[in-house]
């Protein structure tokens, strides 16, 4: 009985740690701050995914971004998500926890959509090291296409 209780406590602790490991603070980001992040990313390729929590194609892309981040974060690639939701940071934080998102997320200030020409989502921008736009995808794009473009930039 003691062994069973100890096992249950261990499982509960692992589950609690896993939930905390994926919890992240969602900060707002202005167009100027995003510009700086892109330009200051001198040594890495950068994927910026503009998304919303309520968007089915956005949700469909997320497992691919999670896998790409796991595989390429130590190989010269950064991924960030920029939510265009209007429901606040708590909404995005809960969504990130639910989906197990492991890459940094931000909540877009109103000026971001205008500056980056976001008219539909998902809208994903891929930048070469140093901040030059390499590719842009509006609408669902599969993981394999993103991976192909990452590999083009890493050559």
Question: End-to-end alpha-carbon separation of the chain, Å?
Answer: 57
Strand (E) or helix (H) holding 39: helix 31-39
Instruction: State how beta strands 105-108 and 77-83 pair.
Output: parallel
For the chain, domains (ranges, CATH) are 25-154 (3.40.30.10)
Pull the structure tokens for residue 71.
């595989």
Q: What is the pLDDT of residues 69-99, one digit of tens each?
A: 999 999 999 999 999 999 999 999 999 999 9
CA–CA distance, 122 with 79 (Å, rounded to integer): 14
Determine how many CB atoms are found less than 10 A away from the CB of residue 10.
10
Per-residue pLDDT reduced to its tens digit, 123-154: 999 999 989 999 999 999 999 999 999 999 99
pLDDT at 1 over 70: no
C-alpha span between 16 and 1 (Å, rounded): 23
pLDDT score at 23 = 61
**pTM of the prediction?**
0.84
């Amino acid at each position: 009985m003691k062994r069973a209780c100890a096992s249950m406590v261990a499982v509960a602790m692992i589950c609690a740690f896993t939930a905390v490991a994926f919890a992240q603070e969602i900060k707002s980001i202005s167009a100027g701050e995003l510009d700086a992040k892109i330009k200051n990313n001198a040594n890495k390729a950068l994927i910026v995914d503009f998304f919303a929590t309520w968007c089915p194609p956005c949700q469909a892309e997320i497992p691919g971004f999670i896998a790409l981040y796991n595989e390429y974060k130590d190989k010269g690639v950064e991924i960030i998500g920029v939510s265009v939701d209007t429901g606040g940071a708590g909404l995005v934080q809960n969504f990130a926890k639910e989906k197990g998102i492991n890459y940094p997320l931000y909540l877009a200030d109103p000026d971001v959509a205008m500056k980056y020409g976001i008219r539909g989502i998902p809208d994903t921008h891929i930048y070469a090291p140093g901040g030059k736009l390499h590719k842009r995808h509006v609408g669902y794009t599969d993981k394999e296409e993103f991976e192909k473009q990452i590999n083009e930039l890493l050559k």
